[in-house]
Amino acid sequence: MNLTVRKIPGQGTGFEVEGASFPTNRGRLCRKGNTAAEPLKNRGDRITAPLIRSRNAAGQRTRAFEETTWSQALDHIARRVRQIQQERGPDAVGVFGSGGLTNEKTYAIGKFARVGLGTSQIDYNGRFCMSSASKASTLAFGLDRGMPFPLTDLDDACTILLLGSNVADTMPPFVQHLEGAREKGGLIVVDPRRSNTAELTADGAGLHVAPAPGGDLVLLLAVANVVLEEGFADQDYLAQRVTGVDEFRRSISHWWPERAQAATGVGADQIRSVARKLGHAAHTARHGGDPVYILTGRGVEQHRDGTDTARAAISLALLLGLPGTSTEGRPRGGYGTLTGQGNGQGGREMGQKSDQLPGMRLVAKPEDRAHMAQVWGVEESSIPGPGKPATQLLHTMGTVDEQGVPKGVSALFVHGSNIAISAPDAGRVIENLRALDLLVVADFFLSETAEEADVVLPVLQWAEEDGTMTNLEGRVLRRRKAVEPPSGVDAGPEAEFGADAEDTGPRSELWIWSELARRLGSPANFPVEPREVFEELREATRGAAADYSGLDWDLIDAGHAPYWPVPSSTLSVEESLTGEPVVGTSRMFQERFAHADGKAKLSAIRPRRQAAPQAGELTFTTGRVMEHYQSGTQTRRVQALQDTHPEVMLQVHPATAAQHGLEEGGYAVVENAQGAMVGLVELDDGIRADTIFAPFHYPGSGTANLLTRGLTDPHSSMPEFKNTPAVIRPALQNEVPGVEARVEQAPERRQKEGAQA
């Protein structure tokens, strides 16, 4: 950022502020970004001291939290962890992380779990976000970088197929990169709702395709079938750079458009139109024309076949000869997946996934374990194996089998997640949280998950800490401390126990994990200074798929945002299309893919049979609104955002409303075997008549995930958030709590609802 002092005629001296040039968002922010500083202000509900509460004679948590000191809180946690692990083994304790943590924290939380606690039971909320696309990219390309090209490459596109992402609401600054394709009539949006993103095609130049929820996979296979049958596939590219083409061709040969029409609700003519539009555009790109891109988001990935759907999108891109290609130095296109969380890319690279070690190394791979043992200074045999993925971890915690043997963890650390709202089958999760012998939650506010805890640890917010993040392009960005945390507490590495042992202000998780590891007798060293952790993670990722070893903190600190991989031996500065210097690998796969043979892999994709809906059932699907983010813990505390969307709405088609006796502005109940939620009816003729949409940002009876199930994708363990059978009816008078009670739900009501769910 440049700050210039200058004279303003008639007004004296003023300041002119010019933002730093950055091509990804070009200085633009959405409403959430513009108000992100609000939760940093001195709020009465910010947690500024560790909170602890005792249990009664029956082992139940009492309602009242009491403030305590850091030394007392951490001593208590360490004592309980030792007791639980001595009784039930190391895996009796679990850890749940977040895609909102910095790279340094992501690295440290995985290390804390595996060599601080000695447990295999760690996963994070990215399992609910990026896991299907991540798995699909790894299977097809050999590694997972969401956008294997700079976002600005989209600006020149003639055609973009965007599946399952309402970017106009969820990441508005991204929309500027769609404008080029939109102006050329080449924006194709696949969404069961006529979302604000789908509205970008309303001028008739683009296409809005509205399959039934869960129909995306068959839609893509039918489009791929047309591409093959009508000669649009790039046969030279397939022969030279792709394996498994015949196997894939055979598996989709029966998905002609007329058959797909019955399975997707999309007309055969529109399916052919999409295929031909992509095919002609890709042919033009091969001869120097504008590029073609296929992008996916959570809408097509949060299904039991989400990995196969993302694989189908990648397969279509490969058939068209797009990934890793250029004509006379100009990109021809590619495939990318959109990342939702602030560190969604870095969060899945550094070791907090149940089956991964830093750099996307694998826990089950001996050579990867040996490398990490050397970095951590421990025996390879002491590093535990793979753990349970998120849904299984949360749905078994605190439970026992018929013989009283625990089926899951008995203690859980939660960092940066509000699983009481965000996890599938949330009623079951809340019940399991209450059954744990120890629940430790680190947060800035008393979230719905924190309210269930034994111990709550106050931590730093985004502008109160240093570190790095990795964006959806694989660019490593610097996060800088801008403000002091509450009470003026110095939360840096010098804040060790001693003179300030009784401090009660927020602390960094790096410091918390270091102190707990020390108390638990871990043989590994846990640095607390972000730069020191960064240096360690560089070594941890050396030679891995996500190789950060060639990165330099000072380079990033100076304003560069390198693209990984950056091996130490190949650190390079290339020139972008705009003439700006680019550090690292901005465009992946230009010469070879990441598999051992250098080729991308196609394989058979066979959709599972969809269960027919029961009489009266509709499809319930969830998503975001512009004003709120994730579980809403922060955005519901921003008045300007909360005033716009104070409560959950249920979006239904007018014909559906008439059929079920619903009225605009009235309240309705959506229910199924998992639970029930209450929301305000919003009529919209842009949604399918067989579908109900609700945002997932709200607590209590407005929690959308009270309905979602624990069914998961067999490849990625992604829950099926987007395709839940449910029924809808008008709410009874006693089922409509006040707006304030629904938004800031009391613990007593949540306990009652959790018991009923």
Residues 515 and 388 in one domain: yes
Residues 144 and 212 in one domain: yes
Task: Indicate whether 613 belongs to any domain.
Answer: no
The number of domains in the chain is 4
- The model's pLDDT over 257-294, given as tens digits with 9 standing for 90+, comes to 999 999 999 999 999 999 999 999 999 999 999 999 99
Angle at 302 between CA 299 and CA 304, to 5 degrees: 130
For 427-437, letters b (16+ CB in 10 Å) and e give: bbbbbbbeebb
Q: 1 pLDDT exceeds 50?
A: no
CATH number of the domain enclosing 56: 3.40.50.740
- The model's pLDDT over 343-390, given as tens digits with 9 standing for 90+, comes to 989 999 999 999 999 999 999 999 999 999 999 999 999 999 999 999
CATH number of the domain enclosing 269: 3.40.228.10
Task: Indicate whether 607 belongs to any domain.
Answer: no
Q: By C-alpha distance, which of 303, 313, 318, 191 is closest to 244? A: 318
| Encoded tokens for 62 | 């009492």
Residues 142 and 59 in one domain: no
Residues 449 and 473 in one domain: yes
Picking from 576, 601, 626, the residue at the C-terminal end of a domain is 601
**Average pLDDT score over residue span 323-349:** 90
- The model's pLDDT over 740-753, given as tens digits with 9 standing for 90+, comes to 333 333 333 333 33
Q: How many residues are recorded in the chain?
A: 757
Task: Indicate whether 575 belongs to any domain.
Answer: no
| Encoded tokens for 669 | 């109940």
Residues 304 and 390 in one domain: no
| Encoded tokens for 131 | 């896991």
**Average pLDDT score over residue span 105-118:** 98
Q: By C-alpha distance, which of 335, 315, 316 is closest to 324? A: 335
- The model's pLDDT over 501-556, given as tens digits with 9 standing for 90+, comes to 457 799 999 999 999 999 999 999 999 999 999 999 999 999 999 999 999 999 89
Q: 499 pLDDT exceeds 70?
A: no
User: Between the CA atoms of 113, 115, 119 and 120, what dihedral angle is there, to the nearest 10 degrees?
Assistant: 80
- The model's pLDDT over 160-204, given as tens digits with 9 standing for 90+, comes to 999 999 998 888 888 899 999 999 999 999 999 999 999 999 887
Compute CA distances 25 → 76, 172, 215, whole Å: 45, 9, 32
pLDDT at 299: 85
Q: 450 pLDDT exceeds 70?
A: yes
For 271-297, letters b (16+ CB in 10 Å) and e give: bbbbbebbbebbbbbbeebbbbbbbbb
Residues 34 and 182 in one domain: no
Task: Indicate whether 441 belongs to any domain.
Answer: yes
Q: 31 pLDDT exceeds 90?
A: no
CA atoms of 353 and 360, how far apart (whole Å): 9
Residues 656 and 744 in one domain: yes
Residue type, 78: A
Residues 217 and 309 in one domain: yes
CATH number of the domain enclosing 728: 2.40.40.20
Task: Indicate whether 542 belongs to any domain.
Answer: yes
Q: Tell me the range of 188-202, 221-235, 732-746 where mean pLDDT is highest.
A: 221-235
Q: What's the distance, CA 574 to chain centroid?
A: 30
Task: Indicate whether 572 belongs to any domain.
Answer: no
Compute CA distances 42 → 39, 196, 205, 444, 484, whole Å: 8, 35, 49, 12, 11
Q: Write 536-540 long-range contacts (CB < 8 A, 24+).
A: 536/107, 536/375, 537/103, 537/104, 537/107, 537/350, 537/358, 539/375, 540/107, 540/351, 540/357, 540/358, 540/359, 540/371, 540/372, 540/375
Task: Indicate whether 674 belongs to any domain.
Answer: yes
Residues 118 and 156 in one domain: no
Task: Indicate whether 95 belongs to any domain.
Answer: yes
pTM: 0.91
Residues 74 and 198 in one domain: no
Residues 6 or more apart whose CB falls under 8 angstroms from that of 98 comprise 124, 125, 126, 341, 347, 415, 416, 417
Q: Please, is 42 exposed, middle or buried when counting C-beta atoms within 10 Å of its C-beta (0-12, 13-18, 19+)?
A: exposed
* Mean per-residue pLDDT of the chain: 89
Residues 415 and 368 in one domain: yes
Residues 445 and 531 in one domain: yes
Query: In the chain, pLDDT over 70 holds for what percent of residues?
Result: 90
**Helices then strands, each counted (H, E), the chain:** 24, 30
CA atoms of 281 and 322, how far apart (whole Å): 11
Q: 318 pLDDT exceeds 90?
A: yes
Q: For residue 186, give its domain range.
A: 131-343+594-601
